[in-house]
Amino acid sequence: MNPENAPEKPPAHSNFIRDIIVEDLKTNKYGGRVHTRFPPEPNGYLHIGHAKSIWLNFGLAAEFGGKTNLRFDDTNPEKEEQEYVDSIKDTVRWLGYDWEDRLFYASDYFPQLYEWAVQLIKAGKAYVCDLSADEVRQYRGTLTEPGKESPYRNRSVEENLDLFARMRAGEFPDGSRTLRAKIDMASPNLNLRDPVMYRILHATHHRTGDQWSIYPMYDFAHGQSDSIERVTHSICTLEFEDHRPLYDWYIEQLGIYHPQQIEFDRLNLTYTLLSKRKLLQLVQEGRVRGWDDPRMPTLSGLRRRGYTPQAIRNFCAAIGVSKTNGIIELGLLEHYVREDLNRRAPRAMAVLRPLKVVIDNYPEGQVEEMEAVNNPEDASAGTRKVPFSRVLYIEQEDFREDPPKQYYRLSPGREVRLRYGYFITARSVVKNAAGEIVEVHCTYDPETRGGNAPDGRKVKSTIHWVSAEHAVEAEVRLYENLFTRPNPNETEPGQDFTANLNPHSLEVLTGCKLEPSLANPAAGDRYQFERLGYFAADPDTAPGKPVFNRTVALRDTWAKIEKRGQEGVRS
């Protein structure tokens, strides 16, 4: 296993679900077993919210020597696809978790679920109902008013068995009938007002093909699947709290092994949507380049962007779980990404918006190999040689002809340090016809090689550079938040969330100049480009033609000063 994927020891810190498990182990409720499952519906790619659930289910079981199943909750053939199954498996593995030989599908249980439905019919606990979906809704009542019983509620067992068998045989059109549990139309819990167990759907399922023309509802499939798999703690998100009485009811009526459902808070993140339906809309409308677009909160998107599985796990451990839904700052996730990349990413020099610098007193044709530290956080990463020559590139923003106050980078007459190189002083500029600076002429002090002056004089700024003759040309993709509002669902009347898409979420820079060691990265290789941020090689990288994604910026102190200045002017 790739070391970055190796799960760290589960955190010793506690949460209420862990407390329940500890208590159950103490009382020997499940014979000392801890068995969880992660149950995605294969109707989209996994997102950062799912990571929280994966971390919780796999992490808790691992801590107590238990097991975790991967189970596809594939009861809705109209929206599910093999492509999603494959990506989900790949993503769970990437996050660092292993279901071993325990890969299951709810669709594997369709025959058993059918038998259980027949069992409930025979016990007088389920009936075939001919009301349409609309009528079922009208009969259900509201939170303040009880529902009305279906006129089909008191069909005989024989008639129900016959009709249900014919539903299965495909005799009836979609939506014409349902199988419903006979519970209580006056229950204060709407989920108990004769919930639908099976619906008729003539659809091709990605695994069972056309075998079935009826499909179980989530509530009739989930608990029983947990039971079949002998899950001990069935951990799900809070919106299922009101479904728990139904989960328990089915299991009790069937008299089968009873797992415990426990609910926790969903992850919500600022500037981010975590709904597969909405993410699918972004993909289908071409608002992003696909499910794995680095702007997407999908785990495949974050992976492509350069996030590490370790950073995501650390984030999950930090936010923990609770019983109330809240919103986490996107900045916190970015913090854990920076923290992890700071430790593991080798440093390199790259110039994104190049400005040519000519060192007039540096010998023509001379090339020196400067020694550069690969990772100050990791001595074992060693050093590398970076070529230095007479013509270099620096960032355009590292030179100002008229430097504002507090700007200490290069400007006429100002001396700065070139990282791992020499002190240089700007002498003059060359402008094009449009008056833009295209070249800065400098002199260097040969005594300052390595970055220090023998006479002890100081410079206030160190800037990065790339030797022009040795530079590798690259495309670099910069990302901002996909949405402009902290809550992307907050819109003006008549708009949908796409109105909040950030038009500047992607900026593509071409002609960027990289140091030669970056010529042939493998897709996924991560670096810190000094002073700029963390970057990961994109799968679009071709030999000698790197494409990098900015994973996350470093905190830029100058941008902050300048912004504060502007705000000062405005107010």
d(CA 223, CA 453): 72
3-state DSSP assignment of residue 115: helix
Which listed residue (193, 276, 344, 409) is catalytic?
Answer: 276
Options 33, 39, 297, 370; binder of ligand ATP; rule CB under 6 A: 39
Pattern of binders to ligand ATP over 66-105, x per CB under 6 A?
-------x--------------------------------
H/E segment holding residue 438: strand 437-445
d(CA 107, CA 207): 7
Active site residue 347: no
Task: Report the site for ligand ATP in 43-72 (rule: CB under 6 A).
Answer: 49-50, 52-53
In 202-329, DSSP assigns E strands to: 214-216, 233-237, 260-264
49 binds, among Mg ion, ligand ATP, none (CB under 5 to 8 A by kind): ligand ATP
| Residue 191 or 443 having the CB closest to Mg ion | 191
Least gap, CB of 333 to ligand ATP (angstroms): 13
- Which two three-digit tokens encode residue 531? 């002073």
Of the candidates 535, 481, 547, the residue with the CA atom closest to the CA atom of residue 511:
547
Active site residue 485: no
> Cα–Cα distances in Å, from 57 out to 3, 27, 45?
21, 21, 18
Which listed residue (4, 29, 41, 241) is catalytic?
Answer: 41
- Which two three-digit tokens encode residue 481? 């938040």
* Chain residue at closest Cβ approach to Mg ion: 41
Least gap, CB of 243 to ligand ATP (angstroms): 11
15 scored as a contact of ligand ATP (CB under 6 A): no
267 binds, among ligand ATP, Mg ion, none (CB under 5 to 8 A by kind): ligand ATP
- Phi, psi dihedrals of residue 362, rounded to the nearest 5°: -90, 135
Task: Report the site for ligand ATP in 269-308 (rule: CB under 6 A).
Answer: 274-276
d(CA 517, CA 526): 13
Of the candidates 409, 343, 414, 415, the residue with the CA atom closest to the CA atom of residue 557:
409
Active site residue 409: no
| Residue 203 or 274 having the CB closest to ligand ATP | 274
125 binds, among ligand ATP, Mg ion, none (CB under 5 to 8 A by kind): none
Options 4, 25, 29, 41; binder of Mg ion; rule CB under 5 A: 41
52 binds, among Mg ion, ligand ATP, none (CB under 5 to 8 A by kind): ligand ATP
Q: What angle do CA 547, 344, 319 make, to 5 degrees?
A: 100
Q: What DSSP assignment string belongs to 72-109? A: E----TTT--HHHHHHHHHHHHHHT---TT-EEEGGGG
| Residue 80 or 538 having the CB closest to Mg ion | 80
Options 237, 253, 452, 484; binder of ligand ATP; rule CB under 6 A: 237
| Residue 54 or 386 having the CB closest to ligand ATP | 54
d(CA 390, CA 471): 13
Residues that bind ligand ATP (CB under 6 A): 39-41, 49-50, 52-53, 73, 236-237, 266-267, 274-276
Q: Any idea which residues carry the catalytic annotation? A: 41, 266, 276
Footprint on this chain of Mg ion (rule: CB under 5 A): 41
